[in-house]
Structure 1
C-alpha cells in the first residue's frame, strides 16, 4: 500500500515543474496535464528521468536535483500532439512519440536545455520508444506497426529514416491492433515487450516474430495493458491495467507484479504507467 499522507516514506523522490522557474518557459500550468511517462536513464554519468504529459510537456530531468537537462512543450495547452513517451540517445538527443500527432520527433537536446530543432517521421498512434544500443536503431510502436528508425545527420541537425516495419498482431480482423507500450525484456537481449489493446507480447528481434512463450504469460497476457516491464535483479514483471470508477478511463490505483504475484495500491491515486527504477 502506498499512502503518502499516512506514510511519507513511501515517496522516495518527486518531481513537478509547477512553480519551478527552471521550467517556466514550458508553461507547465497548461502543458503538465496527465503525466504519462517517467523512466530513468543514465547519460554521461548522470541519471535522467524522461517524462511526458499529454498536453505537451516533455523533459529530461536530472535526478535527484530536478535540474533541467532539456525540455520542450509541444502544442502546450491541448492534446493536439499528446506526447506519450521519450527516449534519450547516446549523443544526448531526445526522441518523443506523439500519439495524437501521429509522429516521432528527434530533438537536438544535446545542444542545450531549450534546444528546439528536431527531425520528424510519421507514425500513426505513436506510443512507445526504445533505443537499441546493440543495433543502433530507435524502435517505436504505433497503432498498427512496430518500426525502427536509423538516426543520421549530426547531433545539432539530426535526421530520422525508417528502416523496418512489422505489423502488430490483430485480435479481430479489420480492427486496429492498438500498440501501446514498448520496453526491453530484462535478461533477454533481442526481446522487447510490446502491448496492444488485446495482448502482451514479446517481440523476438532476430526471428522477427511476436511470441507469448514467456514465463507467467497466463497472468501477464491480458487486454489493455498500459505498461509492462521486468526487473533484471528479481525477474519480477510489473504491469498496469485501467480500472473503472476513477477520474479517467486510463487510470488505475494498482500496479500488478508477477512471479511472484503481488500488488501495490496508490491510495487516492491515478496511475497510467509504472516503471521499475532502472537507470541504464
Structure 2
C-alpha cells in the first residue's frame, strides 16, 4: 500500500471504544505501525483491529513507499521504523507530521497525501534518528534527531524540497511542541526540557535557547530518558512529558512538573512511548513495549485510561498512538 489511502469522511469520531461508557464517542486512533511500515488511522469502535480480515477498520493510511511524490527522499531506505505521527492544522489545511528512524521526515496533507514538505536526514542509517517533528506558524518545520543530539529547524516555507536549516544541540532530542501562547518551541531531551525562541525571518530562521528545566529522575545520578512531549488537550498551558520511568505534566507558566492529573496511578509507569488525552471524553492513550515481538520497543496494544481499556492490533508492531485530533 503506497501513498495515502482510506476514507476521508467520518474520520473525526467513532463510537465507544474498549472500556468506555456506552454512547461515548471517541476520536479515531493514529498509529505509527512499524511492522507494516505505515501510518494508520483506525476506527475505535471496531477493535480488535485486524486490517487483513477486516480492511474497513483502517479509516486512512499513509506510506511513501512507491509514491512518486516522495521518491527523492529514498523511502525504501529512509522510511524504516516510522517513529512519529501527529495531526496538525496549518492555514486551514490538515497535515500529518511524520518521521522515521532511518531518516525520513514528511509533512503530508490529509486526505490526499500531497507533500507539503519533506527531507531525508542521512537516509538509510540511524545516525540522526529523526524522532519527532513540529510545524511552526510561518510554515517552517522543526525536527528532533535523537541519535544526532540536535534540533533542526528547516525553512520548509520555501518549498516542498527546501533543505536550508538552523540547528541547536540537545542530547537525546525526542519530542517537540510549538507553544502558540508563549511563541516558544519546546524540545524534550534525555535530561531536560528546553524552550527555544525562533529568531530571524522564515527564510533564514535561528534557534535561540531561552531556558531549560531538568527532568524528574527516578534514581539520582541517572538520565531521566525523556521520550514523549505532547500538549495536554484538556488543560491549556500544560504538556505531557514521558520519561523512561514515569509520566508527568509540565506547567509552562510555573515551569513545574506534576503528577496531579486524574488517572496518574495507571498512566504513569515505566517505558511509556507516547501519551495524550481527548478533551471531550478525558480518555488518555499510551503505549508501552511488550515482549515477544519483532523489536523490543513494539507493542500490539494501545492502552486507554479513564476508564481503563485496551485496543489490540492483530500482527502489529506499534510504536506510538495518538488520538486523531487536528489542532
Band the TM-score falls in, shorter-chain normalisation: over 0.9
Once the two structures are superposed, the pairs formed by residues 184-195 of structure 1 within 5 Å of their partners are: 184-195=231-242
SS in 1 for 2:162: coil
User: Greater RCO between the two (CA within 8 Å, min separation 6)?
Assistant: 2
CA deviation profile, 1:165-208 (whole Å, cap 9, x unmatched): 00001111111100000011112111110000000000112221
1:262 aligns with 2:309: yes
Give the structure 1 partner of residue 6 of structure 2: none
**Gaps spanning 5+ residues in structure 1: where?**
none
Q: Which residue of 2 aligns with 1:17?
A: 64
Structure 1 counterpart of 2:116, from 48, 69, 77: 69
Deviation at 1:64, TM superposition (A): 0.4
My pick for the range that moved more, 46-55 or 200-209, is 200-209
- Does residue 277 of the first structure (1) align with residue 324 of the second (2)? yes
CA distance, structure 1, for counterparts of residue 166 and residue 280 of structure 2? 36
CA distance in 1: counterparts of 2:63 and 2:238, whole angstroms: 33
**Runs ≥4 residues deviating over 4 A:** none
Number of positions where the alignment pairs a residue of Structure 1 with one of Structure 2? 280
The equivalent of 1:134 in structure 2 is: 181
Corresponding residue of 2:248: 201
* SS state at 2:207 partner: strand
Q: Secondary structure at the match of 1:110?
A: helix
Residue 120 of structure 1 and its aligned partner are, at CA, apart by: 0.2
- The whole-number CA distance in structure 1 between the counterparts of 2:320 and 2:50 is 18
1:239 and 2:286 aligned: yes
Separation of aligned partners in 2, 1:170 and 1:215? 21
CA distance in 2, matches of 1:217, 1:103: 31
Map Cα deviations across residues 209-268 of structure 1 (whole Å, 9 max, x no partner). Answer: 111010001100101100000011211000000000011111100000001111000100
Q: Unaligned regions of 5+ residues in structure 2, if any?
A: 1-47
Q: Who is 2:13 aligned against?
A: none
